[in-house]
Structure 1
Amino acid sequence: MKIRSIMKLFLSLRSLGLLLIATLIIFPGCNNKSSDSNPAYNEILIGALLPISTYDEGILGKATMQYAVDDFNAFLIKAGSPDRFKLVIADTESDSSTTIQAVEELYAQGVRLLAGGPSSSMELGAIMDYINVHQMLMLNAYSTAPSLAIMDDNIFRLVTDDTKQSKAISKYLNFDGISAVIVVWRHDNYGQGLSEAFATDYVAAGGTLINSIPYDISTTEFSSLTSELNSQIIAAKSQYGSENVGICCFGFDETTMLFEDASAQSDLGTVKWYGCDGNAVINEMASNPVSAAFALQVNFTALNVGLGTADFTPKNAANLSERVQLATGLQPNVNTLSAYDAVRIFGNCYLATNNQEVELIKSVLPEICSTYNFLGITRELNEAGDLLNANYIFWKIETSGSSNIWNTSATYFADGDYIELKH
Structure 2
Amino acid sequence: MKKIIRSTFVLFAFALFLQSCDKKDKFQTVIPVKGLFSLTGNWSSLGITSKAALELAAEDINLYLSDKGANFRLYPTVDDTQLDTKLASEMFDKAKSDKISFVIGPQSSAELAAIKPYSDAAQIIVVSQSSTAGSLAIPNDAIFRFCPSDKIEGAAIAATIAKRGFKGLVTIARDDAGNKGLQSATSDAFRAKGGETINLPAYSTTITDYSAVIASMKTQLTSMIATHGADKVGVYLASFDEGVEVMKLAALDPVLSNVKWFGGDGVVLSTAFLASANVADFIIKTGFFAPSFGLPTAMEAKWKPVAARIKEKTGTEPDAFALVAYDAMWNIAYTLEATNGNTIDFAKLKSEFVTQANGKDGIVGTKTLDAAGDRASGTFDYFSIVKEGNAYVWKLVGKSDN
User: TM (normalized to structure 1)?
Assistant: 0.84
Residue equivalent to 2:179: 191
Q: Aligned pair 1:204/2:192, yes or no?
A: yes
Residue equivalent to 1:103: 92
Inter-partner Cα distance in structure 2 for 1:253 and 1:175: 28
Inter-partner Cα distance in structure 1 for 2:365 and 2:207: 35
Inter-partner Cα distance in structure 2 for 1:313 and 1:403: 30
Residue equivalent to 1:85: 74
Contact 2:133/2:181, CA 8 A, preserved across alignment: yes
Q: Aligned pair 1:319/2:308, yes or no?
A: no
Inter-partner Cα distance in structure 2 for 1:293 and 1:389: 34
Inter-partner Cα distance in structure 2 for 1:40 and 1:239: 69
Instruction: Kindly state the Cα deviation for residue 52 of structure 1 after the two structures are TM-superposed.
Output: 1.7
Residue equivalent to 1:245: 233
Inter-partner Cα distance in structure 1 for 2:158 and 2:398: 14
Residue equivalent to 1:18: none
Inter-partner Cα distance in structure 2 for 1:51 and 1:407: 23
Structure 1 residues 62-77: aligned runs within 5 Å: 62-77=51-66
Inter-partner Cα distance in structure 2 for 1:40 and 1:192: 46
Amino acid at match of 1:63: A
Residue equivalent to 2:6: none
For residue 274 of structure 2, give the secondary structure of its aligned residue in structure 1.
Answer: helix
Alpha carbon RMSD of aligned pairs, Å?
Answer: 2.0
For residue 247 of structure 1, give the secondary structure of its aligned residue in structure 2.
Answer: strand
Inter-partner Cα distance in structure 1 for 2:51 and 2:364: 22
Q: Which moved more, 1:370-379 or 1:135-144?
A: 370-379
Instruction: Kindly state the Cα deviation for residue 279 of structure 1 after the two structures are TM-superposed.
Output: 1.8
Residue equivalent to 1:285: 273
Counting aligned pairs with the same residue, the percent is 26
Instruction: Kindly state the Cα deviation for residue 204 of structure 1 after the two structures are TM-superposed.
Output: 1.7
Structure 1 residues 47-62: aligned runs within 5 Å: 47-54=34-41, 55-62=44-51
* 1:45-73 per-position Cα deviation (integer Å, ceiling 9, x unaligned): 00111112212222111111111112222
Inter-partner Cα distance in structure 2 for 1:307 and 1:171: 19
For residue 148 of structure 2, give the secondary structure of its aligned residue in structure 1.
Answer: coil
Inter-partner Cα distance in structure 2 for 1:258 and 1:185: 11
Q: Aligned pair 1:349/2:338, yes or no?
A: no
Instruction: Kindly state the Cα deviation for residue 111 of structure 1 after the two structures are TM-superposed.
Output: 1.3
For residue 144 of structure 1, give the secondary structure of its aligned residue in structure 2.
Answer: coil
Q: Aligned pair 1:255/2:224, yes or no?
A: no
Inter-partner Cα distance in structure 1 for 2:114 and 2:312: 34
Inter-partner Cα distance in structure 1 for 2:40 and 2:208: 16
Contact 1:187/1:217, CA 8 A, preserved across alignment: yes
* 1:8-38 per-position Cα deviation (integer Å, ceiling 9, x unaligned): xxxxxxxxxxxxxxxxxxxxxxxxxx64457
Residue equivalent to 2:213: 225
Contact 2:27/2:73, CA 8 A, preserved across alignment: no
* 1:88-125 per-position Cα deviation (integer Å, ceiling 9, x unaligned): 2222121111111111112222312112x101000001
Contact 1:90/1:102, CA 8 A, preserved across alignment: yes
Where structure 2 has 5 or more consecutive residues not aligned to the other structure, the ranges are 1-13
Cα 1:64–1:258 change in 2 (3 A) is same
Instruction: Kindly state the Cα deviation for residue 329 of structure 1 after the two structures are TM-superposed.
Output: 1.1
Structure 1 residues 2-13: aligned runs within 5 Å: none
Residue equivalent to 1:156: 144
Contact 1:269/1:298, CA 8 A, preserved across alignment: yes
Inter-partner Cα distance in structure 2 for 1:313 and 1:409: 19
Q: Aligned pair 1:403/2:365, yes or no?
A: no
Inter-partner Cα distance in structure 2 for 1:267 and 1:185: 19
Where structure 1 has 5 or more consecutive residues not aligned to the other structure, the ranges are 1-33, 415-423
Q: Which moved more, 1:179-188 or 1:393-402?
A: 393-402
Residue equivalent to 1:23: none
Amino acid at match of 1:51: S
Inter-partner Cα distance in structure 2 for 1:307 and 1:334: 6
For residue 200 of structure 2, give the secondary structure of its aligned residue in structure 1.
Answer: strand
Q: Aligned pair 1:129/2:117, yes or no?
A: yes
Instruction: Kindly state the Cα deviation for residue 175 of structure 1 after the two structures are TM-superposed.
Output: 1.4
Aligned length: 378
Instruction: Kindly state the Cα deviation for residue 372 of structure 1 after the two structures are TM-superposed.
Output: 2.4
Instruction: Kindly state the Cα deviation for residue 185 of structure 1 after the two structures are TM-superposed.
Output: 0.7
Contact 2:61/2:333, CA 8 A, preserved across alignment: no
Contact 2:33/2:100, CA 8 A, preserved across alignment: yes
